[in-house]
Amino acid sequence: MCGIIGLVGDKPVSYLIYKGLFAVQHRGQSSAGKLTYDGNIHMNKDAGLVRDVFNDSKKIFTPGNLGIGHTRYSTAGMDDIESLKHNAQPEYVINPFLAGVHNGNIYNGYEMRKKTKRTPRTECDIQWLLLPLADYLYGKKIDVDTIFEAAEWLMPQVKGSYSALFITDSGENPLLFAITDPRKIRPLVLGENTNYKCFASETRVFKKINFRYIEDVPGGSAVVIDKEGQIHEKMICKKKEMPCMFEFVYFAKPDSRINGRSIHNVRVEIGRRLAKEAPVDADIICPVPESGRRYAIGFSRESGIPLDEGLMKDKSERSFIQQTQDKREEIVAEGLSFIRSVLKGKKVVLIDDSIVRGTNMRKIVSGIREAGAKEVHVRIGCPPLLAPCYLGIDMRSKREFIARNPDGSLKDWDQIAKEIEADSLAYISHKSLKESIGFDICTGCINFPDGYPPEMREDALQLFNRDLKDRRAYEIM
């Protein structure tokens, strides 16, 4: 999972990209980068947060009326600092000039590597789009029609998820373009103001830079924007869209919309339905900040139990997308405070979006008890996670899920409740999750393998059977 942004206009785009990257920082915290273009390439990227990578004006303000930016959440490569630096995006090639950024996961990368004569410089999935596209465009006059032809050649060969942005130029014709996988697993939207057009992972970017929303880029399409700002769109390989359910549950920010659906409203509705499905006798509802807040609002409205802030977040980093378990636990241990005056003597409903490994939830439940709570009842706005995601969420192994026993069998909720030391535990049902979102979604990680798009299920099973602890199955050949 990553955040991407691309701009083209009649004025320099660098500062707008910089501001936009802050608006998608929550989607990736391992590295950040941007590339602007004015006939010359101006690129800065490194491991770390946006504020750390772009720490002086020379990096923030670079020439060029088109550019792309990226915040990375690692789903490929190693997790040490040198690897994170090495795999930072954007990436580019010369002859022809083509630069790109990618959000998603291409799980047939080993097959795609055979389709290019070029040597990949990184382990990132952007290589399996960038290099074959560059091969196809080599020696051709690059215009809108040529890009559509290249997309028609490439996209049917790629397996997985991708919302990707590219810059190219074959002289006096610089172009910004996007391609999306047929199922539109990862979000991508298009906006504008008087001087610019903008692609971004989430609509919240437009609020931050004062743009107007145009559309959610359709799945399976290629969209090209020329230097005059004209938009050229072509459907390449149409299928029914199935956005990732985890975008609605966790990744997207509450002030964003996906396919017209407010993320805030979806989470409140999930909380409301959760209160009806799993009622509890309690004194207060406490969300895990910030991930549980919208669910807690809905739960409180439906149940009538008052909402209170018994937990306080001290750090801005998101624990789930940290690169290692040690770092995740550090964020939880150092990033939360427990307010004794709120929790002492109370029966508490603790609300969060999901439980993956259970380690963090156990620490939070323990902290609430240490603050004097009489009971802790956990309610979760996502069904139990059961299988790795092969489409852009870094759940590496089937062995890391608390909902599975070591022999692969599934645990009942009471067993999980004991492991996290809660008095009770309940998850939202699959039915209520889907109805809250309101359209078809990819649910492969909670309904394996049937929750995957039909054409991906056999591939997902093969990857699942190849699973090794601490290794991503699609990186093992």
Which domains does the chain possess?
Answer: 3-241 (3.60.20.10), 254-475 (3.40.50.2020)
**Nearest to 320, CA basis, from 296, 290, 297, 350:** 290
What is the percent of the chain with per-residue pLDDT over 90, rounded to a whole number? Answer: 83
Tokens of 439: 């359209």
Task: Write the DSSP assignment of 194-214 as a string of letters.
Answer: SSEEEEESSTHHHHHHT-EEE
Amino acid (1-letter code) at residue 210: N
Class of residue 431 by CB neighbours under 10 A (exposed 0-12, middle 13-18, buried 19+): exposed
**Does 329 score more than 70 pLDDT?**
no
Residues linked to residue 45 through DSSP beta bridges, in sequence order: 33
Lowest mean pLDDT among 117-121, 170-174, 203-207, 279-283: 170-174
pLDDT tens figures, 162-185: 999 999 997 778 999 999 999 999
Residues linked to residue 201 through DSSP beta bridges, in sequence order: none
Tokens of 196: 């610019």
pLDDT of residue 335: 80
**How, if at all, do strands 231-235 and 221-225 pair?**
antiparallel
Non-local CB neighbours of 48 within 8 Å, separated by 6+ positions: 31, 32
- Angle at which helices 263-277 and 430-437 pack, to 10 degrees? 150
Question: Could you tell me where the DSSP H helices lie in 57-178?
Answer: 57-60, 81-86, 109-113, 127-137, 144-154
pTM of the full predicted structure? 0.93
**Does 21 score more than 50 pLDDT?**
yes
**Does 407 score more than 70 pLDDT?**
yes
pLDDT of residue 269: 98
198 is catalytic: no
Q: Whole-angstrom Cα distance, residue 189 to residue 195? A: 18
**Does 318 score more than 60 pLDDT?**
no
**Nearest to 188, CA basis, from 197, 178, 173:** 178
**Does 62 score more than 50 pLDDT?**
yes
pLDDT interval class at 394 (50, 70, 90): confident
pLDDT tens figures, 145-160: 999 999 999 999 999 9
Q: Whole-angstrom Cα distance, residue 332 to residue 313? A: 9
pLDDT of residue 80: 81
